[in-house]
Amino acid sequence: MSDLLQRFSFQGLPVRGAVARLNQTWLAVRHRNPVPMPAQELLGQALAASALLSSDLKIRARVGLQLQGEGPLKLLLAQCASDGGQRGIARCPAELSGSEDFSALTRASTLVISIDGTQTDQNYQGIVPLEGNTLAAALEGYFRRSEQLATGIWLVADHEKAAGLLIQRLPGHHEYPESWEELCALAGTLTLEELLSLEALPLLGRLFPEHTILDGGSVPLEFACQCSRDKVVEVLRVLGRDALTDDLRQHREVTVDCEFCNERYGFDAVDIDHLFAGQAS
Ligand SMILES: [Zn+2]
């Protein structure tokens, strides 16, 4: 199975959609961020969801889906760039009982949807209280309230695969309400097993046999981290030389680990000197 985001629309209806299927991408994120069930399942679903959210990007950008709250799951972040590069992290205790449901896991969480464009004037952030009994329901609610867009979302993840389906009424189109209801009802017959196992186009054929599906193009998905030594240098410069002196004295180097990909960046005394050369410390 290849990791893919497939866009589609329905001929004659103002409805677009996307299917995301992840295998190697999900494994790469999961291995770098080992968290217990059911947080792991939620991380996989969030990763699939971030790919679905990226399906409507009109610019080169990165979509972020973040939950931050007071439940055992302190932080969940999944990102997908318009080129299909994905990464994600979850922060929770090393052990969970395993029986926490979505509401307990994400108690008092806020949901943040962000779009970071390659140019600074293209950034967007929507922040709402997390509502709903599943991540899919929370995202549907977000689109309904914040964007006034009727949206149906289905998400699933197991240890190896993560997948999602999104259908959305195009902005400004409220005609054919019965067709929208029909599409939602048809999509609702989808089993999570089918969503995990079927390739995108056969899946759509199975769900919507009476409709003509228009192929909107696909993007390969893969694990990709945007961290770099240059970005770490920027952060260290902001921290200032004084903040680094203790680390340097104790460990003879300053190390920074990327929390997404675990890449370690090390700076010894000579590096640090270079970094602050010409700056008043
Ligand atoms: Zn990284």
| pLDDT > 70 fraction of the chain, expressed in percent and rounded | 98
Which pLDDT score, from 0 to 100, does residue 247 have? 83
> What ranges do the domains of the chain cover?
4-223, 229-275
Is residue 281 predicted with pLDDT exceeding 50? no
In the structure, what pLDDT confidence band is assigned to residue 122 with cuts at 50, 70 and 90?
A: confident
Residue 132 · residue 142 · CB < 8 Å: no
Is residue 136 predicted with pLDDT exceeding 90? yes
User: Inter-axis angle of helices 24-32 and 39-53, to 10 degrees?
Assistant: 130
Question: Residues 6 or more apart from 204 whose CB is under 8 A from it?
Answer: 8, 17, 19, 213
Tell me how far the alpha carbon of residue 71 lies from the centroid of ligand 1, in angstroms: 26
Tell me how far the alpha carbon of residue 176 lies from the centroid of ligand 1, in angstroms: 46
- Considering the four listed CATH numbers 3.55.30.10, 3.30.230.10, 3.90.850.10, 3.40.50.1820, the one that applies to the domain covering 4-223 is 3.55.30.10
Same fold? 4-223, 229-275: no
Topology of domain 229-275 in CATH is CBS domain Like (3.90.1280)
* Structure-block tokens of residue 255: 């190390």
Tell me how far the alpha carbon of residue 152 lies from the centroid of ligand 1, in angstroms: 32
* Structure-block tokens of residue 151: 């949206």
Tell me how far the alpha carbon of residue 234 lies from the centroid of ligand 1, in angstroms: 15
Greater model confidence, 122 or 215: 215
Is residue 159 predicted with pLDDT exceeding 50? yes
Among the residue ranges 26-30, 73-77, 160-164, 173-177, the one predicted with the least confidence is 173-177
Q: Which of 162, 45, 33 is nearest to 94 (CA)?
A: 33
| Mean pLDDT (whole number) for 247-262 | 89
Tell me how far the alpha carbon of residue 261 lies from the centroid of ligand 1, in angstroms: 4
Question: How far from 73 is each of 28, 102, 169, CA to CA, in Å?
Answer: 20, 10, 32
Tell me how far the alpha carbon of residue 114 lies from the centroid of ligand 1, in angstroms: 19
Task: Tell me, yes or no, if the pTM score tops 0.95.
Answer: no
Is residue 80 predicted with pLDDT exceeding 50? yes
Which pLDDT score, from 0 to 100, does residue 280 have? 54
Residue 20 · residue 44 · CB < 8 Å: no
Tell me how far the alpha carbon of residue 221 lies from the centroid of ligand 1, in angstroms: 17
In the structure, what pLDDT confidence band is assigned to residue 118 with cuts at 50, 70 and 90?
A: confident
**Over the stretch 17-53, which tens digit does the pLDDT of each residue have?**
999 999 999 999 999 989 999 999 999 999 999 999 9
In the structure, what pLDDT confidence band is assigned to residue 139 with cuts at 50, 70 and 90?
A: very high
In the structure, what pLDDT confidence band is assigned to residue 2 with cuts at 50, 70 and 90?
A: confident
CB-count burial class (<10 Å; 0-12, 13-18, 19+) for 153: buried
